[in-house]
Chain A
Amino acid sequence: MRHQVSSRRRAGPPASQTVPAMGLAVLLSLSLPAGAQERFRRTPPLPDAQRLELKLPPVLTFALPNGLTVATARRPESSVVTLQLVIRAGEADSPPNRPGLASVTAQMIGKGTKMLSADYFENMIESLGAQFSVTVFMDYTVMTMNVLGDKDLVDRAIYILRLMAIEATFSERELAAVRRTAYWQLYESKKDPEVLGWRQLLSVLFADHPYRVATYSEDVVKFITTRDVSEFYGRYYRPGNAAVLVSGNIDGAAIAQKVGSLFGAWTGPAPERAPLPPPPPNGKERVCFVEAPESAAATVFAGNVIMGSSGQDFYPFLVLKQILGGTTRSRLFMNLRETKGYATYAFTEMEVFGSCGIYWARALVEPASIVPAIHEIVGEIGALASGPAVPSEIEEAKSYLVGSLPLRFESSAGFAEWMARYVALRLDPGQWDKGPEEIKLVNAERVREAARRYLLARPVVVVVGRPEWLSQYLNDLGAVEVYDSGGQLKHIKGEGR
């Protein structure tokens, strides 16, 4: 189906909650004249009075004497157990001269130990029927193993996780294979305008911040050596900088004991790191154009730096993001697609890292409408910053956020991802499953304050599209920085105008 469809909701009187007995309903329906319709069809029904309470299983956390965090969550309905090794080091921890090192190091985990070849090790994991994956975020890395819930299999999986964490070795042969895979993944990703736009936005917003190291292309991974990987591993893969998480239909105490006995011998101090300060938001008018010669339509991004997840503005900003572009009913979509017809879609997103976050609007735009679409996007952001949101918009945004939040935790993968984030970023216990309560407490004043603080600064604009569109459609803009698909600045169009 198309996701890019919407229009305004028709006003209507509230529906009756009365439900006639089944027999009566049938009689009524059978007695209707042709062409008439039952009354209950005319208006949408009200929700049931049933209280919607999001209650996640509690996360039980403790620390081993070596500093390793162990966290368990019991999900009795789950047939699959998820084990995760979380390392509190991510893309941002790669040295400036070795972008991608965090990712390559994580990919090398599980590629053998002193005693076991990579082939043997992989076979050992997969012989359990387990699925192993690695995800590297800005501030942390998660290695995930999913396995059937049988105690024997889970015990063996924990042992394998121990081998990975404590006894990893890095051979030239395996590094060559990992570099090759990383190269092709990054090469293929350049065909995706969304990836290009996102990377460019990050590199501009974090130009003078360690997070900029996360914006690399395929060329850099070939410089990474086994020595680099060993050093990164030696520095960050330490018990005081790590956590083992287990969720599923488990006996938490027994699992914790098992983890304690297997990981107790892991030693080494946690790296000393000062918390990263957030960068200042962009304040200048800045437009970047990234060349993507195969594009059929232009992808437009506009975004800026915002607060982290622990700030008082976090939940009000969620509401703001929703009002601006959360769904097909939001301002951007209604304006750019439904009213002006500039875009196929227009939404907003936000991502929160350890020290700060960013928000961005994202639209797929007709090439001829790039400039007016940019004006509308920046205008909508500005309008929300300077003028109050309508109370009904705020309430609708809150309703959406409260209603949609449980969807995130439905699958084992979704639950485990949130648990890893919660533990990795040491989030406040109130954030575990109290999001809906916090959202309900957001009022117009808090929304207004958050808008003033984070939407007033001018967003950075990134356009991804065909090179020829620059001269065809972007002449009305001021200076435009032009980048190739690898993120290299080629020239500045219209500089000095």
Chain B
Amino acid sequence: MNRTARALIILAVVLPSLQASGSQEAAAPGSLPFAFQEYRLRNGLHVILSEDARLPLVTVAIGYGAGTLREKPGQEGLAYLLENLMFQGSDNVSPLQHIAFVQKVGGELNATTTLDKALFYETLPSNQLALALWLESDRMKSLVITPAAIDRTREDLLKEHAERVAADPYLGTFSEFDSLLFPDHLYGHPLIGPRMSDLAEAEILEFHKTYYVPNNAVLCIVGNIDAGRTRELVARYFDSIPPGLDSPSPPRPEIRRENDAVVRSVKIPVGSAGFHMGFRFFPLQAGDTDCLRILQYVLLEGETSRMRSRLLRHDLTARYLTGALDEKPSIATLKLFCLATNAVMVARSEKGILAEIDRLRSNAISQDELIKARRRFKKDYFDRLSTNLGKARFLVDAVFAGKRLDTLGGELDAVVSVSPQTLEAFAGKYFTPQNRVVLEFGPQ
């Protein structure tokens, strides 16, 4: 009797329920694992509050609809520049004092610019909630943008970007891959680039005036708070900030389907070889995102996921493989990043990935595999919501994605209810050469 067969018998005795279904795992259907309340101030500011008394902490997150989608051709880097100018002082907070105030009380803060928004957040002791609101409201109301601050910030950002590119030989390939994946300027242009130097003061001010207004923002407060007292503080600091003009809805790009897979190659200054591979899914229909979320787990999450297992464990053609689902308005992409030792292994790894895609299209995913993916998805979902910041980002992301917050509780159920047949049909429809983009890279 071989080892595997013996193992199966022993498991049958010891773990009779190992392959049982996950029927006991279901949380209360249709509800989020935490409560929240939302409302709007008179100036249009969308406010979301959620109480969590576990630790003496509070997270204040504020998102502005001022992401890279708002940049016009020639304005690449404007959204990122504005994000950083938000730390350059306002009427009552001197340049760079925002950071100092938060750090002084032991808080952590950061900011990020994505396609749809610029997000600013700080987590600090909960008795300092008023401080965070004071800081955020002051820069919302009275950000001071001077030519000197623009020059200094721009110079710092370009310098730091150059340092990052020099330190990470693969970094440049990511933005190159994005421009290949999304030929349209709206989605395909990088967060930062040399054109940032050409931005005029007037267009920077105009961008700020248009998008950094309360009626284009979401304020989310999560943590050890009293909702009544927090409402009072929010009113105190934000209610009198005048609204801006209504911002037009962000534009949507035109996405064209190619006749065949797009494959390009570039040189990098190190000895490694590898590739990016992406699959585009558009136009998205109801339920498509649920399919993709599960497929991402089937293909790429965990050591036994199909692609990782094949390339890293069995074929041994790659030494690194990772993947992520990128959800944008009207289009989603599954992006893979793979490192191999040389061009031959790159070719074999690409072939292995495509073989797994073919398998996906021609064979239904087994129940066991599906249960595994569902459980892991669910675990990661709860992990994401285990911190105040995780919850705040989840809620703010949802608002900017145009979702109704009272429907969010149903998302998890929708994902874990996707059937093998639905997945097979989805794979057959979308995983076509016309939706595939590849960027190979290798040594100069």
| A residues apposed to B, CB below 8 Å | 1-10, 19-20, 22, 25-26, 29-30, 32, 37-38, 40-50, 52-54, 77-80, 115-117, 119-120, 122-124, 126-131, 146-148, 150-153, 156, 159, 177, 180-181, 184, 188, 191-193, 294-297, 327-329, 344, 364, 396, 399-407, 409-413
Closest residue to B27 on the A side, CB-wise?
A: A79
Closest residue to A436 on the B side, CB-wise?
A: B56
Give the interface centre of B239, B240, B313, B371 by most chain A CB atoms within 10 Å.
B240
- Whether A148 pairs with B25 at a CB distance below 8 angstroms is yes
Q: Which residues of B contact A41 (CB under 8 A)?
A: 91-92, 134, 137-138, 141, 237
Closest residue to B382 on the A side, CB-wise?
A: A79
- Whether B54 pairs with A48 at a CB distance below 8 angstroms is no
Q: Is there a chain A Cβ closer than 8 Å to B304's Cβ?
A: yes
Q: Is there a chain A Cβ closer than 8 Å to B374's Cβ?
A: yes
Give the interface centre of A54, A79, A116, A402 by most chain B CB atoms within 10 Å.
A79
Q: Which residues of A contact B97 (CB under 8 A)?
A: 7, 9-10
Q: Mark interface residues in B61-102 (1 if CB within 8 Å of A CB, else 0).
A: 000000000000000000000011001000110111101110
Cα–Cα distance between A177 and B316 once the two chains are bound (Å) = 9
Cα–Cα distance between A46 and B130 once the two chains are bound (Å) = 8
Q: Is there a chain A Cβ closer than 8 Å to B265's Cβ?
A: no
- Whether B57 pairs with A1 at a CB distance below 8 angstroms is no
Chain B contact residues: helix, strand, loop or mixed? helix
- Whether B304 pairs with A29 at a CB distance below 8 angstroms is no
Q: Output the least CB separation between A322 and chain B (Å).
A: 10
Q: Which residues of A contact B284 (CB under 8 A)?
A: none
- Whether A77 pairs with B379 at a CB distance below 8 angstroms is no
Q: Which residues of A contact B100 (CB under 8 A)?
A: 6-9, 328-329
Q: Is there a chain A Cβ closer than 8 Å to B269's Cβ?
A: yes
Which of these, B4, B101, B126, contacts A50 with CB under 8 Å?
Answer: B126
- Whether B166 pairs with A50 at a CB distance below 8 angstroms is no
Q: Which residues of A contact B104 (CB under 8 A)?
A: 9, 327, 329, 396, 399-400
- Whether A45 pairs with B376 at a CB distance below 8 angstroms is no
With known contacts A52-B56, A403-B105, A409-B55, A117–B7 Cβ distance under 8 A: yes
Cα–Cα distance between A71 and B239 once the two chains are bound (Å) = 50
Which of these, B10, B233, B378, contacts A148 with CB under 8 Å?
Answer: B378
Which of these, A1, A29, A407, contacts B112 with CB under 8 Å?
Answer: A1
Q: Is there a chain A Cβ closer than 8 Å to B107's Cβ?
A: yes
With known contacts A48-B127, A79-B33, A344–B387 Cβ distance under 8 A: no
Q: Is there a chain A Cβ closer than 8 Å to B368's Cβ?
A: yes
Which residues from 368 to 390 on chain B have a C-beta closer than 8 Å to any C-beta of chain A? 368, 371-372, 374-379, 382-383, 386-388, 390
Closest residue to A326 on the B side, CB-wise?
A: B103
Q: Output the least CB separation between A288 and chain B (Å).
A: 20
Q: Is there a chain A Cβ closer than 8 Å to B169's Cβ?
A: yes
Which residues from 296 to 322 on chain B have a C-beta closer than 8 Å to any C-beta of chain A? 302-305, 313, 316, 319-320
Q: Which residues of B contact A401 (CB under 8 A)?
A: 106
Q: Output the least CB separation between B169 and chain A (Å).
A: 7
Closest residue to A110 on the B side, CB-wise?
A: B303
Which of these, B101, B240, B269, contacts A294 with CB under 8 Å?
Answer: B269
Cα–Cα distance between A22 and B228 once the two chains are bound (Å) = 11
Q: Output the least CB separation between A38 and chain B (Å).
A: 7
Q: Which residues of B contact A148 (CB under 8 A)?
A: 25, 375, 378-379, 382
Q: Which residues of A contact B20 (CB under 8 A)?
A: 152
- Whether B376 pairs with A123 at a CB distance below 8 angstroms is no
Q: Which residues of A contact B388 (CB under 8 A)?
A: 410
8 new A-B pairs (CB below 8 Å) besides A52-B127, A127-B371, A146-B383?
Answer: A7-B95, A9-B100, A26-B235, A46-B130, A127-B372, A400-B105, A404-B107, A407-B57
Q: Is there a chain A Cβ closer than 8 Å to B148's Cβ?
A: no
Q: Which residues of B contact A25 (CB under 8 A)?
A: 235-236, 239-240
